[in-house]
A = this chain, B = another copy of it.
Amino acid sequence: MSNPKLQAVLDRIDADFDNSLERLFSLLRIKSISADPAFAGDCKAAAEHIAKDIATLGFAAEVRPTAGHPAIVAKANGSMDGRPHVLFYGHYDVQPVDPLDLWHRPPFEPVVTDHADGRKIIVARGAEDDKGQLMTFIEACRAWKQVAGSLPVDITILIEGEEEVGSKNFVPFLEANKAELKADFALVCDTGMWDPNTPAITTSLRGLVYDEVKIKAANRDLHSGVFGGGAQNPIRVLTRILGGLFDDNGRITIPGFYDGVKDLPPDVLEQWKKLNLTSETFLKPIGLSLPAGEKDRLLIEQISSRPTCDINGIVGGYIGEGSKTVIPSLASAKISFRLVEGQDPAKIRKAFRDYVTSRIPADCSVEFGDHSSAPAIALDWNMKPLAAARRALTEEWGKEAVLMGSGASIPIVADFKRTLGLDSLLVGFGLDDDNIHSPNEKYDLKSFHKGIRSWARILAALAERNP
Tell me the complex Cα distance, A242–B208, Å. 27
Between A222, A228, A287, A436, the greatest number of chain B beta carbons within 10 A of the residue's beta carbon is seen for: A228
Contact at B230–A283, with CB atoms within 8 Å?
A: yes
Chain B CB within 8 A of A54 CB: no
Which chain B residues lie closer than 8 Å to A245 at the CB level?
Answer: 236, 239
Give Cα distance in the complex from A396 to B208, angstroms.
Answer: 66
Of the candidates B232, B290, B334, B436, the one whose C-beta lies within 8 Å of that of A363 is B290
Does A322 count as interface, using CB distance less than 8 angstroms? yes
Query: A141 on the interface (CB 8 Å rule)?
Result: no
Stretch in contact with the other chain, from A118-126, A213-221, A341-349: A213-221
Knowing A98-B320, A324-B35 touch, does A314 contact B292 (C-beta < 8 A)?
A: no
- A338 — which chain B residues lie within 8 A by C-beta? 224-225, 228-229
| A96 contacts the other chain (CB 8 A) | yes
Flag if B36 contacts A282 (CB, 8 Å): no
- A102-B220, A218-B286, A286-B218 known; A239 and B292 CB under 8 Å? no
Q: Copies of this chain, how many?
A: 2
Q: Does A323 contact B (CB under 8 A)?
A: yes
Whether A264 is near chain B, meaning CB under 8 Å from some CB there, is: no
B303 near A227: Cβ-Cβ < 8 Å: yes
CB distance from A332 to the nearest CB of B (A): 8
Q: How far is the CA of A243 from the CA of B253 in the complex (A)?
A: 15
Instruction: Report which of B35, B288, B312, B361 forms a contact with A321, defined as CB distance below 8 A.
Output: B35
The chain B residue with its CB closest to the CB of A432 is B226
Q: Which chain B residues lie closer than 8 Å to A246 at the CB level?
A: 236, 240
- What's the nearest-Cβ distance from chain B to residue A100, in Å? 12
From B218, B220, B241, B408, contact of A223 by CB (8 A): B408
Please tell me if A206 contacts chain B, counting CB pairs below 8 Å: yes
Partner of A287, one of B166, B218, B238, B306: B218
- By a CB distance below 8 angstroms, the chain B residues around A192 are 226
Which single member of B228, B283, B290 contacts A310 (CB below 8 Å)?
B228
B326 engages A292 (CB within 8 Å): no
Are B288 and A232 in touch, CB under 8 angstroms?
yes
Q: What are some 18 contacts across the A-B interface (CB < 8 A)?
A: A35-B320, A37-B321, A206-B225, A219-B286, A219-B287, A222-B437, A224-B308, A228-B338, A229-B293, A233-B311, A235-B242, A235-B314, A236-B311, A238-B239, A238-B314, A312-B325, A318-B334, A323-B371
